């Protein structure tokens, strides 16, 4: 069996960018920054054009096509209003259009632009200049401070960060967005810095216990956070840099760290070579709902709605007498909205036992009157001090329960998409052929449950 050192050495060949790639990225970033500086000058705007994110930190992964450019504006009322209102971004967009560069406008706390240039996606984000510890005006204002803090401190640890990022990508916990609820790029850098390298980070994580881990890189006043993982942002002690990390994402990383240290393997750094269907010997009934991905909406909005719908489905299905096992959410290639629900049984008996109030309460009489003359119930009768009846079950199939839950959701483009889409009940892995090609691999993976790295 290969040892940890052998696997790390092999993985380094994957995560280390070539000199030609480094040159292309640096040249592209420089060109875009030069263009933006000229535009700002023509528009009469005062700003510092800066490179941020993993490119600036030297921790990007080969093949990444994203570059972050931040425009840092003076901290005064004029620029605060221009940034928050979106007027500044609209002015930039008009100037960029004149140069024939394609762009789309995205939204976080305020609008920003994503340009397509030389095969790269370049986020152009306006922000306000702040000092360390100063309250940010927008969420983007901290980013330049993050880069300043990491500059020099990460020297010699860049490859360790890359290894950690790739491993987190492969176990599906990389990214702070609502879709993933995992580890941001900045957080992976802070954790690597705190523990002093990739292997040391895995060793530490293998001992983590959720809600009992607090990482502090710089002395700061005590701030209590109720979160599975707490990493105090060194440039803003009042912020938990790990706030986005869900309990499941943290647990997956703990389990994967333990597994890698015990049984090191390249499966933690590569896509699984094994087809999900090869290990799928036992399946449980799985309901799959899917519809078209709503276009023109920010991903976090789509995923926020999708997670709320999943919570509603789980609650309604449970209260209807079904026993849900697992629920999965997917948006493959931004073409579909997909909800997958595994249950013990997709059909329930025709009758159910319905519990009423204790016999000594005021509500008891109303319960008796409701069911006393009903021809389709058994009872009322008393058990353990309460009234009961046996009545026909209103919802007998899992499809009915899910349809009922969707109808209770208000004002959701995701709900509208799912209601217009299809519902398929799979009782066996061979039935995945009933699904669109793009969903078959996802369905098999969800039905199989086992993580690909647990080999």
Strand-pair partners of 292: 336
Pairing of strands 236-240, 229-233: antiparallel
Is position 169 annotated in a ligand binding site?
A: no
- Specify the length of the chain in residues: 455
Q: Is the peptide bond before 445 cis (omega within 30 degrees of 0)?
A: no
Strand-pair partners of 365: none
**Six-digit token pair at 371?**
């069911």
CA gap 131, 236 in Å, rounded: 10
How does DSSP classify residue 427?
S
Is position 452 annotated in a ligand binding site?
A: no
3-state SS assignment for residue 229: strand
Is position 174 annotated in a ligand binding site?
A: yes
Pairing of strands 111-117, 102-107: antiparallel
3-state SS assignment for residue 335: coil
DSSP characters over 302-351: HHHHHHHHHHHHHHHHHHTT--EEEEEEE-GGGTEEEEEEEES-SB--SE
Neighbouring residues of 78: CB distance < 8 A, sequence distance ≥ 6 = none
Token pair 């450019």 is found at 69
Pairing of strands 111-117, 336-343: unpaired
Is position 66 annotated in a ligand binding site?
A: yes
**Six-digit token pair at 43?**
């528009």
CB-count burial class (<10 Å; 0-12, 13-18, 19+) for 99: exposed
CA gap 294, 229 in Å, rounded: 33
Is position 165 annotated in a ligand binding site?
A: yes
Annotated binding site for Mg(2+): 66, 68, 123
Annotated binding site: 54, 66, 68, 123, 146, 165, 174
Annotated binding site for ATP: 54, 146, 165, 174
Annotated binding site for CTP: 54, 146, 165, 174
């Amino acid at each position: 069996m290969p040892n940890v050192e052998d696997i790390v050495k092999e993985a380094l060949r994957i995560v280390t960018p070539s000199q030609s790639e480094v040159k292309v990225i640096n040249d592209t970033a420089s060109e875009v920054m030069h263009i933006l500086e000229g535009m700002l000058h023509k528009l009469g705007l005062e700003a510092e054009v800066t490179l941020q994110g993993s490119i600036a930190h030297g921790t990007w992964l080969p093949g990444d096509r994203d570059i972050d450019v931040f425009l840092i504006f003076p901290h005064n009322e004029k620029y605060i209003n221009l940034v928050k209102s979106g007027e500044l971004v609209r002015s930039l967009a008009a100037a960029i259009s004149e140069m024939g560069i394609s762009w789309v406008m995205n939204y976080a706390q305020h609008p920003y632009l994503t340009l397509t240039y030389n095969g790269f996606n370049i986020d152009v984000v306006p922000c306000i200049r702040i000092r360390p510890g100063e309250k940010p005006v927008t969420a983007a204002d901290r980013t330049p401070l993050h880069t300043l803090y990491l500059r020099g401190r990460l020297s010699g640890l860049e490859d360790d960060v890359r290894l950690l990022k790739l491993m987190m990508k492969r176990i599906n916990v990389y990214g702070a967005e609502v879709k993933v609820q995992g580890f941001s790029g900045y957080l992976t850098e802070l954790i690597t810095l705190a523990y002093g390298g990739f292997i040391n980070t895995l060793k530490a994580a293998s001992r983590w216990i959720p809600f009992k881990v607090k990482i502090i890189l710089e002395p700061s006043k005590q701030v209590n956070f109720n979160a599975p993982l707490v990493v105090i942002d060194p440039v803003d002690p009042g912020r938990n840099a790990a706030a986005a990390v869900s309990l499941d994402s943290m647990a997956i990383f703990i389990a994967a760290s333990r597994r890698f240290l015990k049984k090191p393997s390249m499966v933690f750094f590569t896509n699984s070579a094994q087809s999900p269907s090869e290990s799928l010997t036992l399946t449980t009934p799985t309901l799959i709902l899917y519809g078209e991905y709503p276009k023109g909406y920010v991903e976090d909005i789509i995923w926020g709605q999708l997670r709320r719908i999943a919570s509603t489905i789980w609650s309604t299905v449970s209260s209807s007498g079904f026993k849900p096992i697992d629920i999965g959410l997917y948006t493959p290639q931004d073409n579909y909205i997909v909800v997958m629900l595994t249950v013990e049984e997709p059909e329930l008996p025709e009758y159910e036992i319905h519990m009423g109030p204790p016999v000594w309460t005021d509500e008891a009489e109303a319960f008796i009157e409701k069911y006393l003359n009903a021809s389709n119930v058994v009872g009322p009768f008393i058990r353990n001090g309460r009234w009961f009846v046996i009545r026909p079950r209103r919802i007998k199939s899992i499809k009915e329960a899910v349809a009922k839950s969707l109808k209770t959701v208000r004002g959701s483009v995701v709900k509208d998409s799912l209601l217009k889409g299809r519902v398929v009940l799979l009782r066996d892995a061979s039935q995945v052929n009933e699904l669109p090609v793009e969903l078959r691999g996802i369905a098999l993976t969800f039905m199989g449950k086992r993580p690909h790295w647990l080999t």
